[in-house]
Structure 1
């Protein structure tokens, strides 16, 4: 669970999670990734008579990195330090519900514990304006990557998937997109989104745009190829337009209006721009094929300040 100052929400969510999963035979070890909180954690808030929660630990980061990178570091830490059958990834604010977590756990067991299970949002609770922009983003994402946006972070991963995912540089930008990009076997189940337990979301418009671009960047080579093809098509259309005007001028007796000369000049400028864009995308695609970048399992330790255990089941 990545969080920033949502300590009261996290404590209440863990209590609800324990009650929801108490009927399922399992043991939960909670890892809270503290993404640069300004407020300290009161360990007393996390003490309770839990049924399935065995430990609660806080992994404190040296600085605020953002939700997605906090998840990446948390997953890499679990991969290197914990023995488990699966990893449940969820937000600490309550929008990922305990009932949804139980659905993920049960589905994971029913699927033979070999598939990653993601929550497909069957109901959203945001404002109308947010939903409008989100729908526009989904269309853009579909056009640029060929993949529909249907999930968030709420998911469960088998242990075997974890050791693969933490080697992906794309995980540093966006968790869900990296899992989809990895082509590991997964499935989706519909789970409605819940409501925040306390406080207001810190996600503003700029942060949401950055989040969306981070998801698209995971498919950078695919986006680059699609934009390259679009640029080449645009170049071809511009060339056809120029040739049509020239042929009419040289090989027919039809009068060419004065604006045709200006149109030819504009088409020539557009042609040069499309060629420049196509060349840029070509080099961008080639560079992404050679750059290794940040590897979570190798580099995650640089950002960890400390790991503190605040609860252990006696």
Structure 2
């Protein structure tokens, strides 16, 4: 087997405090793997600036000049979010294998060598899986594990305790890029590819500089993207609710008519107003889930708006 080229793809958002640490650490991994002849000298480090508001892009430009031919910088025209920045890097690299990792290096880059070894043993996708969540707060650990369990109950195939630290071969990456999802949830899309895969366990590190770029609001948004993109369970729940509500409405209609026809306590006009109101409401609830599910599928099929724009590219 020929020695493959490796692309390490790193989305960056306001990482001016972290880049002076992460850049040399990732370059050291590249150089070490090249020295061991596990990857070719054509391997590169891709740094994607996701519309940062600090000096992140200036540092990336400097790195491209200092390590010309080894570091490539991409700058998005505006902030599009972690998943889109990662996608931009994956779509613009041309190496044989890619490894995606966050700039905070909480996913220990020393495990990239283990991933490359798994690739040489036949794996097209290698998932970085956290061995434990000891560094998380109780709230984050409980919500994260609960979310993975919920997704599995909904029939979504996810790797437990895996985020976006992974290796992909060229054929697996090309297959993944054929998906044109309007709401990106890459860890779910990768599982849909279906090529041979394996896992590498690691202990998550503590961020040594900067701040987390995934507050609760963004975590909830990503979680909802995964649910809405890969499961119809919420829409089916609405359909079931519509059926139940329709049944109750029909019983109410029978009760209203019985009061009107067989009793003398009904106010004039009450039955003629309430009966069509209940009937229309039951039809609306019943059709809401069915129509919503159809429109959601149609929306994902026809929506092809640009997912990001690159304003600058350096290092090539």
Paired position in structure 2 for 1:307: 313
Following the alignment from structure 1 to structure 2, what is the Cα–Cα distance between the partners of residues 269 and 187? 53
Following the alignment from structure 1 to structure 2, what is the Cα–Cα distance between the partners of residues 307 and 143? 42
Q: What are the superposed Cα offsets for residues 232-278 of structure 1, whole Å, 9 maximum, x if unpaired?
A: 4445555667889979xx9xxxxxxxxxxxxxx9x999956641432
Q: What are the superposed Cα offsets for residues 194-248 of structure 1, whole Å, 9 maximum, x if unpaired?
A: 22232221221111111212222331xx32xx3344344445555667889979x
Cα pair 2:46 2:73 within 8 Å, conserved: yes
Cα pair 2:111 2:200 within 8 Å, conserved: no
Corresponding residue to 1:91 among 98, 102, 112: 102
Cα pair 1:165 1:171 within 8 Å, conserved: no
CA distance change for structure 1 residues 309 and 289 in 2, over 3 Å: closer, same or farther? closer
Paired position in structure 1 for 2:204: 193
- Name the structure, 1 or 2, with higher relative contact order (CA <8 Å, separation 6+): 1
Q: Give the TM-score normalised by structure 2.
A: 0.73
Answering whether residue 16 of structure 2 is matched by residue 10 of structure 1, we say no
1:141 deviation in Å? Answer: 2.4
Paired position in structure 2 for 1:26: 39
CA distance change for structure 1 residues 203 and 94 in 2, over 3 Å: closer, same or farther? same
Cα pair 2:242 2:288 within 8 Å, conserved: no
Answering whether residue 228 of structure 2 is matched by residue 217 of structure 1, we say yes
Answering whether residue 155 of structure 2 is matched by residue 137 of structure 1, we say no
Q: Secondary structure at the match of 1:281?
A: helix
Q: Secondary structure at the match of 1:170?
A: coil
Following the alignment from structure 1 to structure 2, what is the Cα–Cα distance between the partners of residues 284 and 192? 42
Where structure 1 has 5 or more consecutive residues not aligned to the other structure, the ranges are: 251-264
1:191 deviation in Å? Answer: 2.6
Cα pair 2:172 2:195 within 8 Å, conserved: yes
Paired position in structure 2 for 1:41: 59
Following the alignment from structure 2 to structure 1, what is the Cα–Cα distance between the partners of residues 77 and 250? 61
How many pairs are equivalent? 278
CA distance change for structure 1 residues 186 and 229 in 2, over 3 Å: closer, same or farther? same
Paired position in structure 1 for 2:112: 101
Q: Secondary structure at the match of 2:127?
A: strand
Following the alignment from structure 2 to structure 1, what is the Cα–Cα distance between the partners of residues 281 and 200? 46
1:107 deviation in Å? Answer: 1.0
Q: Secondary structure at the match of 2:302?
A: coil
Q: Secondary structure at the match of 1:164?
A: helix
Q: Give the TM-score normalised by structure 1.
A: 0.73
